[in-house]
Structure 1
Amino acid sequence: MSNSQFIGQLKQNNIQINNLKDQFYRTEAHMSAHENRLSEKVDDFMEKQNFDLKMHTLNTENPHHVTKEQVGLSNVLNEEQATKVAFDNHLDDKKNPHAVTKSQVGLSKVDNIQQAAKTDFDAHDADLDRHITKDERSYWNSSDERSKSILAKHANDQTNPHNVTALQIGLGNVENIQQAAKSDFDNHLDDTFVHISKSDREKWDAAQLSKITKDNGSILINVSQGVDFQSVAIGQRKTFTFYTAETGINTPPVPTRGMYLYSSSTHGEATAFGNDGSLWRKSLSSGVWSDWVNYESEQGSIKRLAAHSDNTDIHVTKTDKDRWNGAVKYANIMLKNGATVGTRTPIYAKWGALLVLRGHVRTEPEIVFGSIPAELVPFGGAVKSVPLSGTGGTANLIIYDNGDLKIKYPDPADSNKMGGGYYLDVVVGFQKGDAT
């Protein structure tokens, strides 16, 4: 290759390098602008998502159209219920609040008249002025058969000819119903299976009314596919056990079973145990939900640490360290055409993706003074500036594709004639082939 061809080649290489740099800067600017636009789009999207989520969370008008069957109240009617106070007041009302009539209680024939007291009745019974004696009856019967017949008929009359009432005989509060025998009443009174004690009543009155599981002890809430765990937790307004499917919304990425601890509508804690042995936690604080956090077990940490330690993509090997720490194997440059060793033997080495030349050589310019293996030479060769020894100055070291080495353009030109030589301490990158 002539000097003019070589210079032309260098200029062409410089033009190509400058073009590549220009393309690189324009591409970098384009990527930066694209990244900024993408970041703005992502920020807008996240802001809208956060707003929509907040509006949905604040919606207390049953946005999911939850039915009474879904919350376990299918048998409850949508009608006003009496308060405990109103019910107790009604229960204690002794003034016939339902307007019960005597016909309804089987006493339609009873008159509402005052009854005689027992003392009055006894006094009346002993009043001989109003009652007849046996002798008087015999006398009257013997004297008047018609009177006798009438009196006999009246005496035998069992249809209450005087219209005696229950109130008149002191039984105004007695209902016209069949009465239980005293033995049956006593047996019923002593039956502790149908009656509760004072301690039973106090225990049941103080019992927890909100269930955290089903009656059989199983999970209360099933957060299945497409169901939002956060909405369920807020909607329950209590502590409860749950199951989550991995296809649920705002659920762990694995099927879990756990418990939500309710504090208020804006605070709570959820703990879930995954089918794969994982442990998860999610918090509601001041109305803001955290993400599910996976608390790793000791066994999981050991496995992850082992996997991390074995990852050679992010860790260096001893071979890497030896190569990077200077464990480079040098070989002597094969000298040619009368070139001789100067103060240091000319050597070369492959160091990663670099070609390293070191040493001091004495040679005439414009001749091939030595060579190295062609597979170590960068594609298209290379040109490096090297210092002259003795008088000072520089020259160009030409490294050809085939591995040949030559000194060109020494300045001053008579350096080698003065016995100086050239220092070959250079590093060349972008090596072709396998440079590892």
Structure 2
Amino acid sequence: MLDSNIRGLFKKIEYQIANLKGLFSKNEKQMLDNINDFKKDNEEFKDNLEYTLKVHTENKSNPHGVNKNQVGLDQVDNVKQASESDFNDHVDNKDNPHGVSKSQLGLGKVIDVLQASKEDLDTHTSDLENPHQVTKKQIGLDKLKNEEQATLEQFNAHVDDKNLHTTELDQTKWNNGQLVKITKDTGEPKIDLRSNTDNLLQALIGNKSSMSTYYAGGSVIGLPSNRFIRGISYMSDLENGQVSRGWTMAFDSSNTLFTNYYEQSWTGWKRLLTSNDIKTSFVEISLGNGATHGTNKAMCSVVGSALYLKGEVITSLGVVFGSLPISYRPTSTRHVSIPVFGTSGSATLVISNNGNMWIDTQLVSNASNITSYGLDHVIPIGE
């Protein structure tokens, strides 16, 4: 039975295989038909595409609608252009086809007259005989005379002549002249002192046998005043290498003139008085301690190194009756004999270096009759 079943199964399989073969054959034919149809359709499509492309490419009527902007010709107008022959004829036309004027060429001021030829111009420019008749005044030489000038060789010989316009006697005189400078090359004073350790008088001695100008600041040692000064000095007569004599004059910044003389040592500064210095100008003496003026007021003045007193004072013996201004005071105490009024006799006036004044002693006939003391006197105020 098993065998019968197997055979039945094989039959069934064979049948199914036969069915599959029939189905495959049918499908194979259908597939071949489809392929052939596809090939046919493809050939037709290619033919249509080639035809369409040919029609498109042969279309010269701008099938894509391209405009002049897209091809970079947006500035070009759609007008008729000249032919090449017409253009060439225009280019070759030398008779001003556009009617250009001289103003358009920047020559509006040029006159239409015959110009000189180049030959004429060259002849004119090479003419060195003053064709325009230029005068010496026109070229700024109207002051010159028409005279022969020295040649370059003659001029150079004149420049190189060491005896130029002078005689040997003149040159000898100049060569033997005094060449010592009294200032620096800049014109500044030869001696310049500014430090408070500088000593003017020592510097002048140290300048040996020479005349010099100098400047000294107000703090320099040895000045005639406490102001800065400018002066001139002459030191001479060297003995054993040292100056033995000399002098100097100096002006301070108040325009006061001083002199000093050196002979082994400096004799001391002297002030030269001016006409204003010797004018007597009196000021009133300030009184105190009960003192009063007499008939004529007590007054004082200084001329040079002298104190001038005048007038009368009423005061008591031994009492400071007045004080002199600072610039009127003596350098040391002075004792002066003065007259008394109201009785006969005299008294001693004392003036201290602080300016105080008093009657120290008196020799009179009757002291009770004294009405005042006379001050008229000239008193030295220097050493």
TM-score (ref. length: structure 2) = 0.30
Rg: which structure is higher?
2
The structure carrying a bigger strand percent of its residues is: 2
TM-score (ref. length: structure 1) = 0.27
The structure carrying a bigger helix percent of its residues is: 1
